[in-house]
A = this chain, B = another copy of it.
Amino acid sequence: MVKQKGLKKVGLPPGSLAYAGNEKKERVRIKVFYYDKNKFEERDVKSDEIRKFFPLKDRPGVTWINVNGVHDVRLIEEIGKNYGLHKLVLEDIVNTEQRPKANNFGDYLFIVLKMFSRKDKRIEVEQVSFVLGKNFVISFQEREGDVFDPVRERIRNEKSQIRGAGPDSLLHSLIDAIVDNYLVLLEKLGGEIEILEDALVSGKSKEALEEIHRLKIDLIRFRKAVWPWREAFSSIEMIDTPLLRKATRIYFRDVYENVIQAIDTIETYREMLSGMLEIYLTSASNRMNEIMKMLTIIATIFVPLTFITGIYGMNFANMPELRWYLGYPMILLFMLAIGISMLVYFRRRKWL
């Protein structure tokens, strides 16, 4: 019952599950929140205890199950069976190379997104999947560590609005946290681009090329992950489902606008980087030209002069000039005159 996407999957039956990332041995850690206006429970759950929390599905209030790790295929299947998820949904959760998307399955909404984090100046991408049901949200991440902590804090806070709101509101908060993180990362990238630009303009561009390339690749990967949201989110707005209440849809439109803003910013940065590369290349070639000019000036002055010294260094028996009393100073003056007229010529041609 194991299907492998990527290198291992080809031709196996569709809808069977196989983790597509690197082999992992760690236990999957699950966190369950169960709350309504008055109650609040929070539990860390091991993967083999998850079954105990399934009855929550049928109780009023909101249940949020957050699964850290999608390499435990059996666990995903069990959750899928209990919540009535389609086999393709489970396959998409497990296969971490999905495109961001939002699909409506009637009973539940299925949303796939990318979450970014930044380590050592490189952007790392992680897939997050959400299932929104009548009174639950299930979220699947590739590994521990996310941008959801402020949402958790708000759930814990009895007075927070989210406690009285439905699961669609929780879903929005989670997605909003991810998108806000995009904007934060983009702001950081923007700062780096500005620093790089200043460095370029002031000529301190030692490793500029590698920097520009690194930022470019980051932006390409960023865009690849964000671009499909355009469709995905405009389709969220249009989905005909009672799972999203009208009041919440306005908030989703807001998220959509932030995504578009992020895409605009990415495009702007890309254009700025292109402009910077042009500057880099042009100023490099300008410096080169300067150097070549130097060489040319030195050579065109001294090569002819050296030729003249060569003439009078010849050992012909019969070279009358050599015996002239003023031969030496005259030839020196002659060479000086040539040198100066060369310099004047260069000045006229604006090479100096």
Contacts of A271 in B (CB 8 A): 220
Q: With an 8 A cutoff between CB atoms, is A195 at the interface?
A: no
Q: How far is the CB of A103 from chain B (nearest CB, A)?
A: 8
- Roughly how many angstroms separate A286 CA and B213 CA in the complex, as a whole number? 15
Q: How far is the CB of A60 from chain B (nearest CB, A)?
A: 22
Nearest to A162 among chain B residues (CB) is B13
- Roughly how many angstroms separate A149 CA and B9 CA in the complex, as a whole number? 12
Contact A147 B10 (CB under 8 A): yes
Q: Which of A50-58, A136-144, A292-300 contacts B (4 or more CB under 8 A)?
A: A292-300
- Roughly how many angstroms separate A310 CA and B335 CA in the complex, as a whole number? 12
Given contacts A14-B173, A151-B11, contact A88 B251 (CB under 8 A): yes
Given contacts A11-B150, A184-B7, contact A257 B101 (CB under 8 A): yes
Q: With an 8 A cutoff between CB atoms, is A282 at the interface?
A: yes
Q: Which of A24-32, A35-43, A64-72, A273-281 contacts B (4 or more CB under 8 A)?
A: A273-281
Contact B284 A281 (CB under 8 A): no
Contact B11 A149 (CB under 8 A): yes
Given contacts A147-B11, A177-B10, A187-B7, contact A288 B291 (CB under 8 A): no
Q: Which of A126-134, A237-245, A316-324 contacts B (4 or more CB under 8 A)?
A: A316-324
- Roughly how many angstroms separate A332 CA and B312 CA in the complex, as a whole number? 11
Q: How far is the CB of A93 from chain B (nearest CB, A)?
A: 13
Q: Which of B153, B217, B313 contacts A313 (CB 8 A)?
A: B313
Contact B99 A264 (CB under 8 A): yes
Q: Which of B9, B201, B209, B268 contacts A210 (CB 8 A)?
A: B201
- Roughly how many angstroms separate A351 CA and B10 CA in the complex, as a whole number? 47
Contact B11 A180 (CB under 8 A): yes
Interface-central residue, A5, A173, A328, by most chain B CB under 10 Å:
A328
Given contacts A250-B86, A299-B295, contact A275 B213 (CB under 8 A): yes
- Roughly how many angstroms separate A327 CA and B313 CA in the complex, as a whole number? 14
Nearest to A174 among chain B residues (CB) is B11
Q: How far is the CB of A244 from chain B (nearest CB, A)?
A: 14
Q: Which residues of A contact B (CB under 8 A)?
A: 5-7, 9-15, 86, 88, 91-92, 97-99, 101, 147-151, 153-154, 160-162, 172-173, 176-177, 180-181, 183-184, 187, 201, 209-210, 213, 216-217, 220-221, 224, 227-228, 250-251, 254, 257, 260-261, 264-265, 267-268, 271-272, 275, 277-289, 291-296, 298-300, 302-307, 309-319, 321-328, 331-332, 351
Q: List 13 A-B contacts (CB under 8 A).
A: A10-B180, A10-B181, A11-B177, A11-B180, A14-B176, A221-B268, A295-B299, A303-B303, A309-B314, A312-B316, A313-B314, A317-B322, A318-B327
